[in-house]
Structure 1
Amino acid sequence: MTNLFSQFELCFPQLNSSCRKLKRPHSDTLLINSVLSFTSLLTATLNLLVIISISHFKQLHTSTNLLLLSLAVSDFFVGFIMFFQIFFINGCWLFGDIMCLLYVVLDYLITSVSIVTMVLISIDRYLAICDPLHYPTKVTPKRVRICVSLCWICSLFFTTALMNENLKRPGRYNSCAGECILVFNFIEQFADFILTFIIPITFITVLYLRVFVVAVSQARAMRSHITAVTLQRSERVTAKKSEMKAARTLGVVVVVFLICLCPYFFFTLSGQDTLLHAPSAIFIMCLFYLNSCLNPIIYAFFYPWFRKSVKLIVTLQIMKPGSCETKIL
C-alpha cells in the first residue's frame, strides 16, 4: 500500500481529502507553461498598446475607436485571466473555492463582452459602408458609449444568471480539495451557446457579407463611369486589389472567429467542460482565448495609425507635453 501511495502526489499533502496531481513529463509541462505564458503576455501587451493609443491621442477619439477600445479592454483582461490556466496544468487549483468561482465568472464576463463588442464593430462597419450619408448622425460617440455600457452591463447580468446555482455555494461540486469545478445544466449551456455563439456569428457573417457585396458593387459602379481607356485599366487594377483585400480581411475575421470559438462551444454543449484542468479542456480554452490575442491584429494592425502610435509609445514620445495632440491620422 505504501508503494502504491507513493506513485502520486497530492495537491495538499496535509489533507487526506486532497486531489491528486496530474503526472506529466517535465518537458511537456515546461512547454505548456511557456506557450501559455507567452500567449498571455502577448495578448495583454497587444491590447494594452491599443488601449494606450486610443486613450492618449485625441485624434483617435472616434466612435469606431471607442468600440475598439472596449474590445481591447476586454481582451486585455482575457490575457490576464489566461495566465491562471497555468495553475490547471498539474490538476490542482490552489486558491480556494471563492477564487475559483471568481475566476470563472470573470472569464465568462470578459469573453462575453469581447464577443458582443465584435458584433457592435460589425454593425458600425455595416452602417459606415452601406449607409455613409446617415452614418455620422446615427453613430455618435455618445450613442457608442451607451452601447458599450449596455454591453458590459448585459454581459454581467447574463453571467450572473448563468452562474446562479454555482453562486449559491462555491465548491459544491468539488469532489476533493484542489478542484475547480462548475456544473451547468443543459438549458444553461444551450442558452450560452445561442447567445454567445450562434447569434453573434450570424450577425457578424451576415453584416460583413453585406459590406463586401456593397463594396464590390461600388467598385464596379466606379469602373463603369470611367471613359478613358488608360484610366479604366488603372481603375480596374485598383478595384481588383480593393476587392481582394476586402475579401481577404473579411475572410480572416470570420474564419479566425470560427476556428477559435467553435471547438469551445461544441465542447461545452456536450457537457464535458466540468473538469477545467483536463488536458483537452485546457487546449480548447486556450484556443478560445487566442481569439483575444488575434483581435488587435485583425482590427488594429490593419490601421496605419496604430503602427504610428506604437512607435510613439515604444519610443516614449507620449511622455512629452502636448503629445496627445499629435497628428496620427
Structure 2
Amino acid sequence: MEAELCFPQLLNTSCRKPVPHQPDALLGYVFLSLVSLITAALNLMIVISISHFRQLHSPTNLLILSLAVSDFLVGFLLMPVEILATEACWFLGDHMCALSYVLDFIITSSSVGNMVLISIDRYLAICDPLRYPTLVTRDKTKICILVCWICSVLYNTVLLRDFLRRPDSHNSCYGECVIVHNHVTGTVDFVFIFAAPVSVIVVLYMRVFSVAVYHAQAMRSHIATVTLQPSTNVTFKKSEMKAAMILGVVVIVFLICYCPYYSPSLLGEDIEDNRSASSFTLWLLYFNSCLNPVIYALFYPWFRKSMKLIVTLKILKPDSCDAKML
C-alpha cells in the first residue's frame, strides 16, 4: 500500500507519512513520556524548594536552582516536542520549527554555562575558603546567572541566524523540520559549548579534588595545624567537601551524556538534528536533565525533606518558608 502524504494538497513537495509502528514502539513512546514527566516534576520540586525555603538561599543552591530551571524546561518543553515529532510529520510550520530549535539550543547551552559556574563556585569554596564569603555572594551569583542566560540567548541567536532566516533550507520535503550544523558552525559550537567549558570544568575539579585529598591526608595524620601555612590554616568544612563530591558526580554524568552528541564534531562531520527522526544521542543529552535531581535526592537530605513537605502540602502553612532544612 502506498504511503500517505503529510500534506495531500502538495503532491510534489509533501513528505510521506511513516509506516505505522508495531505495538512495541508504543512502549517506547510511553517510556519517553514518563521520562519527560519525571524530569519536569523532579526539577520543579528543586525550583520550588530552593525558591521557597529561606535557609536554602545560598550561592551554591542558587546555581543549582538555575540548572534546575533549564532541566525543567527540557522536561516540560523539549522532550514533549521531540516525542510528538519522532518519526512523524511536522505540522507546526517553519517558524515553529525554527523556534523549537532556538529554544533547544538556548536551554541546553545554559545548562553548560550553569555547570561552569558550579565548578567555579566549588573551586573557590574549597581552594580559597577565606575569601569565598566575600568573593561569592548571593547578589553576585544572581548577576552571574543572569549573564549566563543572556549570553546563551545572544550566542545561539547569532549562531542560528542563517537558519532563522531560512528554516526550511535543509528540508528535503514539506513537513520536515531539519537543522544541519556544517563544519564551520559545528566547530564553533563544539568549541564554545563543549570543548572550552568542559576543559574549564575538568581543570577546576582536578584542582578541587587534589586540594581535598591534601586536606584529608593532613587531617588523618593529625598534623594539619603544623604543616599548613597560616594563610590556609582553616578548618576544612566537611559540608563543602560533600557538596564538591555531589556536584562532581553531577559534572561526570553531564560529560557522559553530552560527549556522544558532540562526537561528530570531533570527527569533522556535520551534526544533523531532525525533528522527524529519533536520535539516541539527543535523548541521552536530554536524559541528563532527569538524572540531576535524582542525584540530589540520593545525596542531599534537604531535598528529600523539602519533597516531603511539598507532597504533603505542608509548604502551604504560614511561615513554612522559615522551616529548618539543613
Please report the TM-score for the alignment, with normalisation by the length of structure 2.
0.88
Corresponding residue for residue 72 of structure 1: 68
Q: C-alpha distance in 2, partners of 1:247/1:45?
A: 25
Provide closer, same or farther for how the CA distance between residues 306 and 83 of structure 1 changes in structure 2, counting only shifts above 3 A. same
Match for residue 235 of structure 2? none
Post-superposition offset of 1:22: 2.5
Q: Is the 8 A contact 1:212 1:246 kept in 2?
A: no
The equivalences for 1:160-179 within 5 A come to 160-179=157-176
Equivalent positions of 1:96-135 (< 5 A) are 96-135=93-132
Tell me how far apart the structure 2 counterparts of residues 121 and 169 of structure 1 sit (CA, whole Å): 36
Kept after mapping to 1: 8 A contact 2:87/2:277 = no
Q: Is the CA contact (8 Å cut-off) linking 1:8 and 1:21 kept in structure 2?
A: yes
Q: State the partner residue of 1:319.
A: 316
Q: Distance in 2 between matches of 1:161 and 1:168?
A: 11
- Aligned partner letter, 1:188: T
CA 1:313–1:246: 2 relative to 1, 3 Å? closer
State the partner residue of 2:5. Answer: 10
Which string of whole-angstrom CA distances, capped at 9 and with x for unpartnered residues, describes residues 123-148 of structure 1?
A: 10111111111100000111101100
Rounded to whole Å, the distance in 1 between the matches of 2:60 and 2:128 is 15
CA shift, 1:172, in A, is 3.0
Q: CA deviation at 1:300?
A: 5.7
Structure 1 contact 117–151 (Cα < 8 Å) conserved: yes
Q: Cα 1:102–1:250, aligned 2, differ >3 Å: closer, same or farther?
A: closer
Query: What is the identity, as a one-letter code, of the residue corresponding to 1:171?
Result: D
The question of whether the paired residues in 2 share the 8 Å contact of 1:267 and 1:273 is answered with: no
Structure 2: distance between partners of 1:293 and 1:105: 21
Contact kept, 8 Å, 2:186 with 2:271, in 1: the verdict is no
Evaluate the alpha carbon distance shift between residue 43 and residue 167 of structure 1 in structure 2; reply closer, same or farther with a 3 A threshold. same
SS at match of 1:273: strand
Residue pair 1:9, 1:20 contacting (<8 A) in 2 also: yes
> Structure 1 residue runs of 4+, over 4 Å off?
244-251
Give me the CA root mean square deviation: 2.5
- Structure 1's 69 and 300: CA in aligned 2 closer, same or farther, altered over 3 A? farther
* Residue range with higher mean Cα deviation, 211-220 or 167-176: 167-176
SS in 2 for 1:174: coil
How far does residue 94 in structure 1 lie from its aligned partner after superposition? 1.6
Q: Equivalent pairs: percent with the same residue?
A: 58
For the structure 1 residues 249 and 50, does the alpha-carbon distance in structure 2 shift closer, same or farther, using more than 3 Å as the test?
closer
1:137 corresponds to: 134
Whole-Å Cα distance in 2 between the matches of residues 75 and 274 of structure 1?
20
> 1:167 Cα deviation (Å)?
1.1
1:26 aligned to 2:22? Answer: yes
- Alignment-mate amino acid for residue 83 of structure 1: P
| Alignment-mate amino acid for residue 36 of structure 1 | L
Deviation of 1:272 after TM superposition, in Å, equals: 4.3
CA 1:266/1:276 → structure 2, altered by over 3 Å: closer, same or farther? farther
Residue 205, structure 1, aligned to residue 184, structure 2: no
Q: Distance in 2 between matches of 1:246 and 1:54?
A: 15
Q: In the alignment, is residue 289 of structure 1 matched against residue 286 of structure 2?
A: yes
Which residue number corresponds to residue 234 of structure 2? none
Q: What does the per-residue CA deviation read over 1:183-211, in whole Å, with 9 as the maximum and x for residues that have no partner?
A: 33321110110111111211221211211
Contact 1:109 1:155 in 2 (8 A): yes
Q: Distance in 1 between matches of 2:5 and 2:28?
A: 21
Q: Determine the C-alpha separation between the residues in 2 that align with 1:92 and 1:147.
A: 40
Q: Which of the numbers 143, 146, 150 marks the counterpart of 1:146? A: 143
**One-letter identity of the residue aligned with 2:205:** Y
Q: Which of 253, 258, 261 is equivalent to 2:255?
A: 258
Partner of 2:232: none
Q: Secondary structure at the match of 2:178?
A: coil
Match of 1:3 in 2: none
